[in-house]
Amino acid sequence: MFINGEWTDASTSAHFDVINPATGEVIGSMPDGNGTDAEAAIAAADAAFADWSATTAFKRADMLMDAWRIMNDRAAELAELMVTEQGKPLKAARFEVGYAADFIRWFAEEGRRLSGEWLPSGRPDQRFLSVRQPVGVVAAVTPWNYPISMLTRKMAPALAAGCTMVLKPAEATPLCAKATFDVFTEAGIPPGVINMVTAADPRPIGEVFTSDPRVRKLTFTGSTAVGRTLAAAAGGSLQRVSVELGGHAPFIVFPDADPENAAKGAAALKFLNAGQACISPNRLYVHRDAADAFINMLTKRVSGLVTGNGMDDGVGLGPLVNNAAVEKVSAQVEDARAKGAGVPIGGQRLTENGLDHGFFYAPTVLTDVTPEMTVYREETFGPVAPVVVYDDVDQVIELANDTHYGLAAYVYTDSMKTAIKAFEALRFGIIGINDVNPTSASVPFGGMKDSGLGREGGHEGLDEYLETKVAGISLR
C-alpha cells in the first residue's frame, strides 16, 4: 500500500494474490489492508491537505503535466501490465493508457483556470466575492474494467482542485493502480497527497471511507448495488458524493439508417473489453424491415473475432474478470435460449486451445429477444449482443427508456430531425448519434437514475472536487 509517501505492508502483514484472468496464473500479490490501514491513509491525506491546497494551481498543474509525460513515456509497459492483470487485448490496453493520460493533461489545464467572481449587491457600500476551494480529503473507489483510466479520471481533477486523496483500487487490478501511483509520485506529488489502500475484501475500507469525518468527498465507480450502499452510508457524514454506476444501454437503429453500417458499429462497441463496459449496448433495437440485414452483418462481424490471451497477435476479445462473471453471462444466455431466443453464434464458455485455464465466453448474438428474458432487463457485462426487433417507430424511444438505468444510449439514423428528437427524448446521460465512442476527457461523463450522481470529465469533473465560498465585504 502507499501511505504518506511510502510503500508499506498491511498492518496485519496479510497479502492476497493477483490472478491473470486469461491463464488463471498468480502474477503477484498485494497487501490485504483493513480499516486500520484506511484510517492511517486518511490521516496522512488530512495532514497533507493544508500544504497541498495552499500550493498554487499553476504548480499543481505543472506536476500533473509531468505525470502526463511520464505516463506517455511508459505507455508500452503500462499497457502490457494491463493485459496481464485485466485481460483486454494489447491494442485496447494501449488505447486506455492514452485515454488515462488525456485526463491528466485535461485537468492540469483546467486547474490553471480555476476562478471566482465579483457579485453585485443591492447596497452601494458592499461587494461580494465568490471563490471555489478544494473540498478536502477525497476517498475514491475504482473498478477493474478500466484499471488505469478510471484512476486518472478521479485523481487528476482531485489533485488539480487542491484535494488530497485515499484510493481503494479494485481487488482484481491493484498492480495497475500501483504502477499509476508510481507515475504520480515520480512527477513530484508530495507525501500524503495521494494514498492507496489495497484489500481483498473492500467492505471494511468502505465502512471507514464513509464514516470518517475527515473524508469530505466520496467518489465511486462500480455496480449500482454497491454504489447505493456507499452513498447511503456517506449520507451519515454528509459527504459530497459522486457515483458512476451500471448501465443498460439501448442501441436504436431507425428505419432510415443503413443497417449494415449500424451493425458494424454495434459489433465494435458491444465486444469492446469483452462487453465489460458500463456504456456497452445491451438492447439492440432494430426495425423489422432491417432486422435480417442487421443480424447477418452483426453475426458476420462477430464470427471474425478471435478470442484469447490479449498478448497474442490478432486477439480481439479477452477473458472476463473471473468465473462468477462467466457464470452470470452463461445464465443470462441460457435463460434467453429457454424462452425462445435464437443463438446464431456463440452461446457457450470457451475451453479449447488452452482457454480452459482462463475465464472466456464466446462472443454471442441473441435474436428474438423479448422483455420476459433476464438479458432484456439486467446488465450483462459480457460479450452478448441481444437483438430486439420492433415495429413501431413511435414506441421505440419508450422501449429504450423502460429501464431504471440511464447512463448511455445510441442512435443510428440518417435524419437530423430524428437524431435531435431522440437525443432530447432519451433519458440517458450520454447519447451516441451514429457514433460508438461518445466519450472524451474534455466532456462530462455520467448518468441519470440508477446509473449515478455527478459527472466526470469536462468542466464538470473539476467542479465535483470544489466548494463555493462567498465573502460579503463592507466598504464602510
pLDDT in tens, 223-265: 999 999 999 999 999 999 999 999 999 999 999 999 999 999 9
Number of domains in the chain: 2
The three cell numbers of residue 104 are: 491528466
Short-list 295, 223, 249, CA closest to 399: 249
Helix (H) or strand (E) holding 267: helix 259-270
pLDDT in tens, 253-300: 999 999 999 999 999 999 999 999 999 999 999 999 999 999 999 999
264 lies in the same domain as 148 = no
pLDDT of residue 232: 96
109 lies in the same domain as 217 = yes
Q: CATH code at 311?
A: 3.40.309.10
60 lies in the same domain as 181 = yes
Q: How many CB atoms lie within 10 A of CB 113?
A: 11
pLDDT in tens, 368-395: 999 999 999 999 999 999 999 999 999 9
pLDDT of residue 116: 92
Q: Residue length, the chain?
A: 476
Domain that holds residue 465: 2-246+449-474
Angle, nearest 10°, between helix axes 393-401 and 416-425? 30
The three cell numbers of residue 30 are: 498485494
Residue 441 within any structural domain of the chain: no
Phi-psi category of residue 272: left, alpha or beta, with phi > 0 → left and psi -120 to 50 → alpha: beta
Q: Catalytic positions, please?
A: 244, 278
187 lies in the same domain as 303 = no
Residue 439 within any structural domain of the chain: no
pLDDT of residue 25: 97
pLDDT in tens, 75-92: 999 999 999 999 999 999
pLDDT of residue 67: 98
Mention every residue, 6+ apart, whose C-beta is less than 8 A from residue 49: 134, 136, 137, 163, 164
pLDDT of residue 199: 97
Torsion of Cα atoms, 429 then 317 then 337 then 449, to 10°: -10
Residue 99 within any structural domain of the chain: yes
pLDDT in tens, 444-463: 999 999 999 999 999 999 99
306 lies in the same domain as 241 = no
Angle of CA points 199, 204, 205, to nearest 5° = 60
50 lies in the same domain as 183 = yes
Which pTM was predicted?
0.96
97 lies in the same domain as 144 = yes
pLDDT > 90? residue 476: no
Q: How many CB atoms lie within 10 A of CB 415?
A: 13
Residue 442 within any structural domain of the chain: no
pLDDT in tens, 129-183: 999 999 999 999 999 999 999 999 999 999 999 999 999 999 999 999 999 999 9
Please tell me the distance from the alpha carbon of residue 55 to that of residue 159, in angstroms, as a whole number.
11
pLDDT in tens, 302-337: 999 999 999 999 999 999 999 999 999 999 999 999
pLDDT in tens, 392-408: 999 999 999 999 999 99
Query: What are the φ and ψ backbone dihedral angles of 56, each rounded to 5 degrees?
Result: -65, 150
Residue 89 within any structural domain of the chain: yes
322 lies in the same domain as 366 = yes
pLDDT of residue 404: 96
Mean pLDDT for 16-28 is 97
Residue 144 within any structural domain of the chain: yes
69 lies in the same domain as 198 = yes
Residue 321 within any structural domain of the chain: yes
Short-list 51, 244, 56, 233, CA closest to 141: 244
Residue identified by cell 484506511 is: 38
Query: What are the φ and ψ backbone dihedral angles of 384, each rounded to 5 degrees?
Result: -130, 125
pLDDT in tens, 33-56: 999 999 999 999 999 999 999 999
168 lies in the same domain as 19 = yes
Structure letter (DSSP) for residue 306: P
212 lies in the same domain as 310 = no
167 lies in the same domain as 18 = yes
Q: How many CB atoms lie within 10 A of CB 391?
A: 9
Please tell me the distance from the alpha carbon of residue 360 to that of residue 268, in angstroms, as a whole number.
18
Residue 443 within any structural domain of the chain: no
Q: CATH code at 470?
A: 3.40.605.10
